[in-house]
Structure 1
């Protein structure tokens, strides 16, 4: 019930925001599956990659700069078992066609309960395919710059209001 109320509230908030915003700004929600890869050092056997599966969900805005470029900041909540963090990428979005786009940019991350240094900067690359004008499917890869910053692969669906 708590999640349904939150989602309905976000939907109403962004619908009202969109109706008052300029026509070159879109708002939306997104979510999906997250696979996070942790690099573990194992004695003399080399590196072992451990993978955890979880979910993510959040909001985004898309500020059109021209017909082929926009700026898309996002705010995502990510959970993998007991591991939780906030991911806030800021993408430069390039439209390769009316259906396909490529995104890249820095990703600001706050880890709630995993690291002593809870704030990390990572790099994101992503692609999205528009099924309709409002619905897209997307995939992104997040690269941690530190040994202890996990890398992640995201598969999801977005909805523009």
Structure 2
């Protein structure tokens, strides 16, 4: 996994080097995730069972025109879904955690207000079943190491660099590995994540 993380960093670094002539703006971000699986596996996945987790990372905003920019990011993202929800105790969570690398096209509609969209690649970091009695590691061979997806979002950047962002990311790849011992037709599942983040771009 360390090699995948290094590859993600190099990917973002390479993207910025290709457009070094632009005025780059580096930033940081963090926020909350509401993650679930989408698909028809088993009895299907209920949106009420979304796992609540967090995201944290860094970004580079690369201006192309006054209103258009390219924004590669690298961030840690807690994903998965809740197997069991309890009112008075800790939920039992199916946890899949990723290092995600989206490359977004960012269009400012008016001053500060922008929309964004673009592809994303995710690298699986760890997989666990977490509940009131502690955490148990799940064999990562059961899951695909790479997750391809697409993201769309809306945000507002204030004067000074502070910004707010809401985003939905839909995975295109199956979560489960297509191995000999796994019936992926019965376990059709893809990542789906709503995220709300706050960040700062150093202009």
CA distance in 2, matches of 1:93, 1:27: 15
Q: How does 1:78-97 map to 2 (within 5 A)?
A: 78-80=77-79, 82-97=95-110
Structure 1 length-normalised TM:
0.77
User: Counterpart of 1:37?
Assistant: 36
- 1:48 CA displacement: 3.0
Consecutive unaligned residues of structure 1, counting only runs of 5 or more, are 1-20
How far 1:122 sits from its partner (Å)?
0.2
Aligned CA-pair RMSD: 2.1
SS in 2 for 1:113: strand
- Do the aligned partners of 1:83 and 1:113 also contact (CA within 8 Å) in 2? yes
Q: 1:22 & 1:30 partners in 2: Cα distance?
A: 24
Q: Which residue of 2 aligns with 1:106?
A: 119
Cross-structure match for 1:15? none
* Kept in 1: contact 2:36–2:45 (CA 8 A): no
Distance 1:105 1:150, change over 3 A: same
- Give the number of equivalent residue pairs: 139
Match of 2:154 among 101, 124, 127: 127
The structure with more radius of gyration: 2
Flag the structure with higher strand content. 1
TM-score by length of 2: 0.62
What's the counterpart of residue 13 of structure 1?
Answer: none
Provide structure 2 residue ranges, at least 5 long, that are not aligned to the other structure.
1-19, 80-92, 128-141, 174-187
Q: Judge conservation of contact 1:42–1:48 (CA < 8 Å) in 2.
A: no
Report what 2:13 is aligned to.
none
